[in-house]
Structure 1
Amino acid sequence: MKAFTRETSKAIAIPGVNCDTDQIIPGRFLKADRAEGYGQFLFHDIRRTEEKELDPAFPLNRPGADAATILVVEDNFGCGSSREGAVYALVDHGIRSVIGPSFGDIFFNNALKNGLVPVRLSAETCDALAEHISRFPDAQVTVDLEAGEVVLPGNLGTHPVIIDPFARDCILRGLDEIEMTLTFMEQISAFETDRMASHSWLGR
């Protein structure tokens, strides 16, 4: 996965409490080859009208929205099924961080395993941020994982980014769990050599 240390970008507010993984990427697209990118399916149905045309009112369809790498979402984002494809769709679209009051537990963990940084802030702070960027769409948000903080525009202040230390280390280094394990191969090999020497019967 791509390493994440610090990201500064304008942010896009996605409306909707309980936005589930089927809204993030409809299940029918999960059969597609991910090598071609799941980003094209992000919010596929909810960003379109009943006539299947892109809705110009949907935040990600507005001019310049594609440049944003940070989303501001509402409560319980990513609830529903455990599909990892929801995180793939966000990452493949170029989203590096999602800020919201709360996330579905499985979505939150899937995000960490794929280098997408989920930031939990209070509902009041998220509402104020969404309101601010609606008035100032070019306002910049900084998610600094190395410093462990998110810097919001205007007078909204600086807030801590709290995630599991192991996941944080993996994301900072751009390593998944297997790749992180492989960084200890020298120690693993030394342990195995010592173990075989003291317990030779294991090799029988």
Structure 2
Amino acid sequence: MTPGIRPLVAGNWKMNGTSASLNELRMIGNGFMSGLDAETEALVCVPATLLAHAAEILSRTPVHAGGEDCHTKESGAYTGCISAEMLRDAGASHVIVGHSECREQRGEDDATVQAKASAAWRAGLVAIICIGETQQQREAGATLDVLSRQVDGSVPPSATPSNTIIAYEPVWAIGTGLTPTAADVAEAHAHIREKLSEKLGSVAAKV
């Protein structure tokens, strides 16, 4: 844990859940009423169809509601997409951008992720920028190079602790049963912080 930074525990429902699932959010929110909220920030990112309901339910708890992705544009002829402004209007406080599934399945590159982060800020949302290496990249010994490239390309130069969270997600450990060691995570985090410091200067210490 980095001193001076309040930890964020965030859940991502992905393409799961209907209105029948909302009672789970009530239980999550009520569980955070015990005092943990003073030490830890909590967030649940839900499908857009549930966001307004989720935000209303969680408004009476310390837990935030967030979006799972957003478009770079505020509005326009982008059928099936959702803007950061729409997420904000529905009650979101945060939005995930650059998730590994979006990078892999939709071909999102670092420039697109950076544009989405800027769109989140435009709407008053905190951007959760996901970065991480694949199994192939890890086996090739390219983890730190990949993280350097993603920090450089995905994080806007005006990122601050109030508008940006960097989420390290080693892609090779998602849904595979493989678990990174504490040393793996510590090395990645230290490298990410080093690159953020080079890019953002003194504010990087709190991002």
TM above 0.5, yes or no, is: no
Q: Higher helix proportion, which one? A: 2
Q: Which has the larger radius of gyration?
A: 1
Higher relative contact order (CA 8 A, sep 6+): 1
TM range, smaller chain: 0.3 to 0.5
